[in-house]
Structure 1
Amino acid sequence: MPQEISAQGNMTEQDELLSKAFHLVNQYLEENADIATPVVHYLKPELLKNKLDLSIPDQGVSIDKFITLLETYLHYSVRTGHRQFFNQLFSGFNLPGFLGEVFASLTNTSMATYEIAPVATLIEQSLIEEMNSWIGFEQGEGTFVTGGSNANLVAMLCARNKAFPEAKYQGFSQRSVVFVSDQAHYSFLKAANVLGIGLNNVIKVKTDAKGSMIPAELETAIASSLASGHTPFFIAATAGTTVLGAFDPLPEIAEIAKKYQLWFHVDGAWGGAAIFSDRA
């Protein structure tokens, strides 16, 4: 009878499992390169459930059963690394990046302190410094976040704490407003909700036919908010909107932010990588 995989594993078991798992990975990548391979074997939820063993067993499973589960997972998952996958922002596959994920999980360290993650901490610091130089910051700090939505939340939080340092302890005592384009990602609304700013205080600025924010409309919106007794503190531009791929006119918006002394944030989750281009 097949034995379940032990928690620590012995060398023979370890070699067998790793060999079969990485054979599966290699096979999956070869299939991705084949244009005849479907991007997804799509099934409706009720049909897919019948194909999957979603039970939580009391005992572990054998190596062969485990590999079968992995095969099933890969078979019915969307192949985001396939050449014909264009649906989301994270298409493509990078082998060094994949292996980096593997070894990051292998070491299983937290980035909380240098003592627990010395190499990873220095890597993070070097990457942040390099990114600052690419952007053109002579001085700057940074942190790695979980994704674009979290980045927008952290940016709005930093802006709030700079404009209203007392808000961290006392909350808001005045109506504070932020400005985004009408094509901006919905995560700005989520951030405003989480931070207690309020959805009604997210001012959506009109865009042109290409989906780019109109600077004159932004300045009009700021002036209107000030005239109403509100306190603007944050402008978010977008480098690559999710629908049209539009880039807001960053230099013009930066000048407006400087004029009114507002925090200027650029959401570059989609198009920020253009900074690496010689044409940027």
Structure 2
Amino acid sequence: MLLLDAPVRERLWRRLAEIAEDYIEHVAGGRVSPELSVETIRALLERYDFRAPQDPLEALDFAASSLKRFQTHTPHPRYFGLFNPAPATMGIAADFLVAAFNPQIAAWSHSPFAAEVENHLCRAFGAKFGYPPGETDGVFCSGGAEANHTAMLAALTSRFPEFAERGVRELGGQPVLYISREAHHSFLKAARLCGLGTGAVREIPVDNRWAMDTDELQIEISRDISAGNIPFLVVATAGTTNSGAVDPIAGIGEIARSAGAWFHVDAAWGGAAMLEPSLRGMLEGTGQADSITFDAHKWLSAPMGAGVFLTRHPDILTRTFRVHT
């Protein structure tokens, strides 16, 4: 049986809680980085050939011990690698709860409470960024890369209303977008996925603070317009991956609007500054963005992955993704 018998389930849940508590309590006493031996890992996995059933508790213990041995431990107090802190206790509990209930939110009627939790949180985050009440729409996603891809599709749909049906061949010109040289590589990948190619991406030089040079941005946009290209998306980064630099958001937004382009703020990393009054000024102008990327699995300590796409255009997601079946 998929759900196992009740006594087995009870032992499994108890053991799972013991493993999690032991890990949280003792992770600081171990090493931060894992053993790096693919041969050892593959040898351990050979025992699982899927020809015979495995005891659930043994399988759980095997997975836990292997993760301890072969994983960089982000909850470790000496971990200073990427931007993923120790998950909050309530985040761990929420992950377990969601796995048990398995809500299907592709259709609102299937899990209306979960769907409205998503909507409620998107509105709350939007308000923190400065979006007016009643104007925020959004969706949770796997992380910043997916949110940035969503932003590019929304920008194309906004600038070219026929894009969703006719694609890039019917746009009447070369669409171009603008990011800083320090922006996240997900925009280059999204340009490929959208059929634009990386040749449509303009990587703008940065200043001595590693933030986008707005003079260079204006020059590049003017050059493209003169060449007959069509600026459709301008991106400001609030917290670059390499240095944490924050682009001049308000100034970039003004340039984007004057060019008739969608203005997106990638605040996947730095967006949590909106919650701290002493830091909020760094994000000035974000509330004027057409869309925002934010990652809750960074400063908010949600388990991976918890990205958010926010927009102040309540109809754009429907226009971008709606299909009729």
TM-score for the superposition, normalised by structure 1: 0.93
Letter of the structure 1 residue corresponding to residue 15 of structure 2: K
Q: Is the 8 A contact 2:173 2:228 kept in 1?
A: no
- What percentage of aligned pairs have identical amino acids? 29
The structure-2 alpha-carbon separation of the partners of 1:54 and 1:175, relative to structure 1 and needing over 3 Å to count, comes to farther
How many angstroms does 1:88 deviate by? 1.4
Encode CA deviations 1:184-216: one digit per residue, 9 max, x unaligned: 111101111111112111000010122100111
The 5-angstrom pairing of residues 30-69 of structure 1 reads 30-32=25-27, 34=28, 36-53=29-46, 55-69=48-62
| Residues 98-131 of structure 1: CA deviation (Å, up to 9, x unaligned) | 1111111110111112221121111111111111
3-state DSSP of counterpart to 2:10: helix
Other-structure match for 1:146: 142
Partner of 1:212: 211
How far did residue 53 of structure 1 move?
Answer: 4.1
Structure 1 segment 1-280 matched on structure 2, within 5 A: 6-32=1-27, 34=28, 36-53=29-46, 55-75=48-68, 76-138=70-132, 139-172=135-168, 173-279=172-278, 280=280
Q: Does the 8 Å contact 1:52/1:72 carry over to 2?
A: no
**Once the two structures are superposed, what CA deviation does each residue of 1:195-245 show, in whole Å capped at 9, x if it has no partner?**
111211100001012210011111111001111111111001111110111
Q: Return the offset for 1:73.
A: 2.6
Distance in 1 separating the partners of 2:60 and 2:255: 57
- Which has the greater radius of gyration? 1
Mean Cα displacement is larger for which, 164-173 or 262-271? Answer: 164-173
Q: AA paired with 1:128?
A: C
Segment drifting more, 11-20 vs 43-52? 43-52
The residue identity in structure 1 corresponding to 2:14 is S
**Runs of 5+ in structure 1 lacking a partner?**
1-5
> Shift of residue 14 of structure 1?
1.2
> Displacement of 1:12 after TM fit?
1.3
Tell me: CA distance 1:41–1:193, structure 2 relative to 1, closer, same or farther (3 Å).
Answer: closer
- Which amino acid is the alignment partner of residue 112 of structure 2? P
- The 1:247/1:39 distance shift into structure 2, 3 A limit, reads same
- Normalised by the size of structure 2, how large is the TM-score? 0.80
Q: How many residues end up aligned between the 2 structures?
A: 273
With 179-188 and 18-27 compared, the bigger mean Cα shift is at 18-27
* RMSD value, Cα: 1.5
**Rounded Cα–Cα distance in structure 2 between residues aligned with 1:273 and 1:60:** 46
Give 1:95 shift. Answer: 0.6
Other-structure match for 1:3:
none
Query: How far apart are the structure 2 equivalents of 1:27 and 1:53?
Result: 27
